[in-house]
Structures are given as C-alpha cells and as structure tokens.
Amino acid sequence: MMAIDPVCGMEVAVEPAALTSTVLVADLVNAAAPGRHVGAVDPAEPGVERFWFCGRGCMLDFGDEPSRYLDPAFTPSGM
Ligand SMILES: [Zn+2]
C-alpha cells in the first residue's frame, strides 16, 4: 500500500518504519474544503487523520502548517 506525502507529493510505502504524523481534523481551518488532501482514518481514532512522509523534513514542515499542505489549492513542490 502507498500513500502520498502531502508536502512533496511523493509516493511513500505504508509500512511500520515509515514516518507518519496525525492531525486532529477539528484543528484544520479548511477541514471541509472540497478536494482537500485527506489522510487515513483509523476507526479507533475518530476525528484523526494520518499522513505518511518521505523524510523528516517533510514531516516537520507538515507539523508546522498542516492546513496549508492539505489545502486543495496547495500543489506539492516535488523533490
Ligand atoms: Zn516528502
């Protein structure tokens, strides 16, 4: 299974060693925006979405401004 790194747009393998981060959907200013990048939802954690990253830099950038990277208007810059 693969996921898309919302910061750079790379495909990342979903595996135990992968770098991931979660966000509270309620914290996103644009949570309901049509076309928003949506993460994986664990039924055990309603209201939380998980994202996968290619590296620590993307993960840290995402943690600073999750709403920016999940916005439908944001285009990943690539690496
Ligand atoms: Zn990345």
Sorted by where each begins, the domain ranges of the chain are 2-70
Q: What is the mean pLDDT of residues 10-32?
A: 96
Rounded to two decimals, what is the model's pTM?
A: 0.92
Q: Between vectors from CA 72 to CA 75 and to CA 48, what angle results, nearest 5°? A: 110
Whether residue 6 contacts residue 51, with contact meaning beta carbons closer than 8 Å, is answered with yes
Give 53 Cα–ligand 1 centroid separation in angstroms: 5
Q: Confidence band (pLDDT; 50, 70, 90) for 77? A: confident
Q: Between vectors from CA 43 to CA 35 and to CA 59, what angle results, nearest 5°? A: 55
Q: Confidence band (pLDDT; 50, 70, 90) for 78? A: low
Give 14 Cα–ligand 1 centroid separation in angstroms: 14
Give 62 Cα–ligand 1 centroid separation in angstroms: 9
